[in-house]
Chains A and B, each alone.
Chain A
Amino acid sequence: MTQKEVLDELKAIVVERLRFDPRRAADMTLDTTLPKGVEGSLGLDSLDFIELSVAMEDRFGITVEEGQDLSQEFHSFDSLSRYILGKMGPS
């Protein structure tokens, strides 16, 4: 998968699972930041991140470690999609 393809999948997840407006998802890019409290971010809270993680595991066939601090990885769609691609390994 390319990073662009991973981004499109993530955008589909935030619409289907986190109930974001599809029109808003259309404006999301790799630079879009995620966590609540970051100016201009999607404002995701801890429950959103859990639901997002479960959806990522289903969609990309990866396992998200529960014991690690992944706040850097979940900072933006750019860092998150790199994390996912790293987990998936070379295709």
Chain B
Amino acid sequence: MTKPRIVVSGLGVVSPYGAGTKTFWAGLAAGTCAIRPITLIDTEGFRSRVAAEVPADVMAALGVSARRARADRLGLAAAREALADAGLGPDDRAEAALVIGAVGGGMLEGEAWYWEETRTGRPSPRITALRSILPYTHAETLGWRLGLGGPKETVVMACASGAASISLAADLVRDGVVPVALAGGVDALTRICFMGFNALKLLDPEPCRPFDRDRKGMSIGEAAAFLVLEEADRCRARGGRALAELLGAGVSTDAHHVTSPAPDGEGMVRAMRQALIDARVGAGDVHYVNAHGTGTLQNDRTEALALAKVFGSWSVPVSSTKSLVGHTMAAAGSLEAVATVLALQHGLIPPTANLASVDPEIPFDCVPITARPAPLEIAVTNSFGFGGQNVSLLFGR
């Protein structure tokens, strides 16, 4: 039996550049770093005071009620764009699965409630702030508002959540559970995330410099990104456009440590190799890797080790779009999947911003500063979360 082919038929993004896939790609292609002084939370005395926020004027123009949690507002706007881009009508939506990668939920609003109680010593009446505090509430909100009638799943896999949502949605389509799925990740900036990584000394005081020998950590970002996945024949039959094909996916767990990756990159290697096997593609056929590339000492070095094992040193261009839009946590895997699809479409590799001199232990062309035209047919995007949770997705033009 031949394996059903899964295509990407719609994209939707709200990123630190603004609303929309076109805005996102324009920022990536120009190599514009969207990491700036933080405004949403108080960071007085912190190691790092920069982040890639979605600007206030962009939030106000999303067309989503300010009554909703910030993360839900990002998610609804991005999901609407993806469904419209795919041209999915009410009947398609009624049978579509929804798979969301989420971590922070409506924590930004929940934190404000908690701080008010703690600081005033009185119970806060602002109980509506807790409405969306749990990660699964995004799926509730989006499923209901967008009329998505299929199975509804929330994937919580740290920084790999967004990528894992795509892998799971592809399985649902491939196995015939649903004909079409909306998959992606959502995360708004939160105090607990920013302060946690700040306390771990994993935040660069300057905008992050993945792969640079002087890198000092990551920069936090916020975003939502969604992809519509469907079986190729069905997409063609209904007159949809295939923007790219999801050729394969690999998911693995290090089972090593709560935060550190296994030092030999073994779990990362397994995820990438699984994706290649799933796609029936050789390592030499991959033209670009969109790295997890957080900018922490440990991640970048371990990822480079794993990449060298799978692809060979100096074999394939590798860039980190986190240098441009920050690490958008649960959204990162899906945002970078969109970046990878767009790179294939445009034949242009988004650069690694802020990269002055590459760490000698990273034996790859990391596409510094400026985007590079290249005939791209097949590309991989990696997402490696805390807890050694690894997802590699392999897309083809």
List A residues at the B interface (Cβ < 8 Å): 17-21, 45, 47-48, 50-51, 54-55, 58
| Proximity bits, B129-144, A CB within 8 Å = 1, else 0 | 0110000000000000
Q: Which residue from chain B places its CB closest to the CB of A54 in the assembled complex? A: B125
List B residues at the A interface (Cβ < 8 Å): 65-67, 125-128, 130-131
| Chain A residues, CB < 8 A from B126 | 17, 51
| Chain A residues, CB < 8 A from B67 | 18-20
Query: With A and B bound together, what is the CA distance between A55 and B67 in angstroms?
Result: 17
Minimal beta-carbon separation of A58 from chain B (angstroms): 8
> Could you say which of B65, B66, B125 contacts A55, with CB atoms under 8 Å apart?
B125
Contact at A51–B125, with CB atoms within 8 Å? yes
Contact at B125–A48, with CB atoms within 8 Å? no
Minimal beta-carbon separation of B46 from chain A (angstroms): 28
| Chain A residues, CB < 8 A from B66 | 19, 21
| Chain A residues, CB < 8 A from B128 | 17-19, 47-48, 51
Q: Which residue from chain B places its CB closest to the CB of A58 in the assembled complex? A: B125
Contact at A50–B127, with CB atoms within 8 Å? yes
Minimal beta-carbon separation of B131 from chain A (angstroms): 5
5 more A-B contacts (CB under 8 A) besides A17-B128, A51-B126?
A21-B66, A47-B130, A47-B131, A51-B128, A55-B125
Contact at A47–B125, with CB atoms within 8 Å? no
Q: Which residue from chain B places its CB closest to the CB of A44 in the assembled complex? A: B128
| Chain B residues, CB < 8 A from A21 | 65-66
The 9 closest A-B pairs by CB, nearest first: A54-B125, A19-B67, A47-B128, A51-B128, A47-B131, A51-B127, A50-B127, A47-B127, A19-B66
Query: With A and B bound together, what is the CA distance between A78 and B126 in angstroms?
Result: 24
Interface-centre pick from A18, A21, A47 (highest chain B CB count, 10 A): A47
| Chain B residues, CB < 8 A from A19 | 65-67, 128
Pick 26 A–B contacts, CB within 8 A, sort by A. Answer: A17-B125, A17-B126, A17-B128, A18-B67, A18-B128, A19-B65, A19-B66, A19-B67, A19-B128, A20-B67, A21-B65, A21-B66, A45-B131, A47-B127, A47-B128, A47-B130, A47-B131, A50-B127, A51-B125, A51-B126, A51-B127, A51-B128, A54-B125, A54-B127, A55-B125, A58-B125
Query: With A and B bound together, what is the CA distance between A21 and B65 in angstroms?
Result: 8
| Chain A residues, CB < 8 A from B125 | 17, 51, 54-55, 58
Q: Which residue from chain A places its CB closest to the CB of B65 in the assembled complex? A: A21
Query: With A and B bound together, what is the CA distance between A9 and B130 in angstroms?
Result: 24
Query: With A and B bound together, what is the CA distance between A47 and B137 in angstroms?
Result: 14
| Chain B residues, CB < 8 A from A20 | 67
Minimal beta-carbon separation of A14 from chain B (angstroms): 10
Query: With A and B bound together, what is the CA distance between A18 and B127 in angstroms?
Result: 10
| Chain A residues, CB < 8 A from B65 | 19, 21
Query: With A and B bound together, what is the CA distance between A59 and B373 in angstroms?
Result: 63
Query: With A and B bound together, what is the CA distance between A79 and B107 in angstroms?
Result: 35
Interface-centre pick from A19, A45, A55 (highest chain B CB count, 10 A): A19
| Chain B residues, CB < 8 A from A54 | 125, 127
Query: With A and B bound together, what is the CA distance between A17 and B126 in angstroms?
Result: 7
Query: With A and B bound together, what is the CA distance between A19 and B131 in angstroms?
Result: 13
| Chain A residues, CB < 8 A from B130 | 47
Minimal beta-carbon separation of B306 from chain A (angstroms): 45
Minimal beta-carbon separation of A52 from chain B (angstroms): 9
Q: Which residue from chain A places its CB closest to the CB of B126 in the assembled complex? A: A51
| Chain A residues, CB < 8 A from B127 | 47, 50-51, 54
| Chain B residues, CB < 8 A from A50 | 127
Q: Which residue from chain A places its CB closest to the CB of B66 in the assembled complex? A: A19
Minimal beta-carbon separation of B63 from chain A (angstroms): 12
| Chain B residues, CB < 8 A from A45 | 131
Minimal beta-carbon separation of B112 from chain A (angstroms): 12
Query: With A and B bound together, what is the CA distance between A50 and B124 in angstroms?
Result: 12
| Chain B residues, CB < 8 A from A47 | 127-128, 130-131
Query: With A and B bound together, what is the CA distance between A48 and B125 in angstroms?
Result: 10
| Chain B residues, CB < 8 A from A48 | 128
Q: Which residue from chain A places its CB closest to the CB of B67 in the assembled complex? A: A19
| Chain B residues, CB < 8 A from A18 | 67, 128
Query: With A and B bound together, what is the CA distance between A77 and B128 in angstroms?
Result: 20
